[in-house]
């Protein structure tokens, strides 16, 4: 997978959902240690590696690998 989310940094702001042009993300039901639902990668195959999610994440919780 080329998209990685650090669950402990994610605070479920949903900016990645709004900025992703390919609908890669969805909210999961998983909670991190701070009690936030964390973002999930629903469709990694759709990722075009534009890195909009990385740029818009205020918590630096998303990393897109170039591989």
User: Mind listing the pLDDT tens digit for each residue in 33-54?
Assistant: 999 999 999 999 999 999 999 9
Question: Where in the sequence is the domain holding 23, given as residue range(s)?
Answer: 3-64
The rounded distance, in Å, linking the Cα atoms of 29 and 19 is 21
What residue has token string 């999961």?
28
- DSSP for 7-45, written as a single string: TTT-----HHHHH-TT--EEEEEEE-TTSPEEEEES-GG
Residue 46's contacts (CB-CB under 8 Å, 6 or more residues apart) are 22, 23, 24
Q: Is the pLDDT of residue 15 over 70?
A: yes
Mean pLDDT of the chain: 95
- CATH number for the domain harbouring residue 25: 3.30.70.20
pLDDT at 1: 64
Residue 66: pLDDT band (50, 70, 90) is confident
What residue has token string 């998209």?
3
- 22: part of which helix (H) or strand (E)? none
Q: How many structural domains comprise the chain?
A: 1
């Amino acid at each position: 997978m080329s998209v990685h989310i650090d669950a402990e940094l994610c605070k479920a702001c949903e900016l990645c959902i709004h900025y992703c042009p390919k609908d890669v993300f969805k909210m999961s039901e998983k909670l991190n240690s701070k009690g936030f639902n964390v973002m999930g990668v629903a469709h990694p195959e759709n990722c075009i590696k534009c890195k909009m999610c990385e740029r818009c994440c205020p918590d630096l919780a998303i990393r897109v690998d170039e591989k």
